[in-house]
């Protein structure tokens, strides 16, 4: 029988190295998973949403190294993201957690308050499994089509492009993410494209 994750936030015992109270007040009831990680990578605090995302009882998470909570293939990526943090700096890491096929988007930022005289990290996470699976399916379906297929976010920025852009547009598909979709549209077609995009339903193309 699988243990049901605790519905309470977990917190390191009070003392000189306790997690700042404002962190708990700001994030304990949040729908987004939140956790505080020490400079050495130990989990010091987690809100109920993070406990539910990780899928383990809260008592098993406290003072556990975060590398134990992610897929082994993603540990280097997470470690690098944590090591490059500076004041007010945010790194986004796509981390596959231990449940096969499940994914989290993790935002890492340095807390302004030190813990035990060392910098500490605030991690916030959301489940993006459905969107990742949809993109993987789209990539598989688009491998052998001649039409150009792109995925764009709400701001019109390309997040993925099919391999067919190489032959159709002479562009490397890996160079298109973070590019505005309008940069691929002829100037005379921009107005009709914008009109079609404005009227498109989610999941539909213009």
87 burial via Cβ count (<10 Å: 0-12, 13-18, 19+):
exposed
Percent of the chain past pLDDT 90, that is, above it, reads 1
Return d(Cα 76, Cα 93) in angstroms, integer. Answer: 11
pLDDT (average), residues 120-142: 77
pLDDT (average), residues 184-196: 84
136 vs 195: which has the higher pLDDT? 195
Return d(Cα 55, Cα 31) in angstroms, integer. Answer: 15
Read off the pLDDT of residues 144-185 as tens digits, 9 standing for 90 and up.
Answer: 667 777 878 777 888 888 888 888 888 888 888 888 888 888
- Note whether 120 and 38 are within 8 A (CB): yes
Buried b (16+ CB within 10 A) or exposed e, 88-97: eeebebebbb
Read off the pLDDT of residues 75-91 as tens digits, 9 standing for 90 and up.
Answer: 888 888 888 776 555 55
């Amino acid at each position: 029988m699988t243990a049901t994750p605790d519905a309470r936030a977990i917190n390191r015992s009070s003392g000189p190295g306790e997690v700042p109270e404002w962190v708990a007040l700001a994030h304990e009831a949040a729908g987004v998973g939140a956790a505080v990680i020490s400079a050495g990578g130990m989990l010091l605090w987690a809100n109920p949403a993070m406990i539910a995302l990780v899928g383990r009882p809260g008592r098993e998470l406290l003072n556990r190294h975060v590398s134990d909570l992610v897929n082994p293939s993603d540990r280097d990526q997470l470690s690098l993201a944590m090591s490059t943090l500076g004041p007010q700096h945010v790194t986004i890491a796509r981390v596959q957690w231990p449940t096969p096929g499940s994914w989290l988007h993790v935002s890492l930022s340095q807390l302004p308050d030190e813990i035990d005289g060392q910098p500490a990290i605030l991690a916030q996470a959301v489940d993006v499994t459905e969107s990742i699976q949809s993109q993987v399916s789209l990539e598989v379906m688009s491998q052998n089509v001649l039409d150009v297929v792109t995925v764009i976010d709400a701001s019109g920025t390309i997040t993925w492009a099919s391999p067919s852009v190489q032959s159709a547009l002479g562009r490397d598909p890996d160079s298109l993410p973070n590019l505005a979709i309008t940069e691929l549209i002829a100037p005379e077609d921009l107005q009709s494209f914008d009109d079609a995009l404005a009227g498109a339903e989610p999941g539909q193309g213009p």
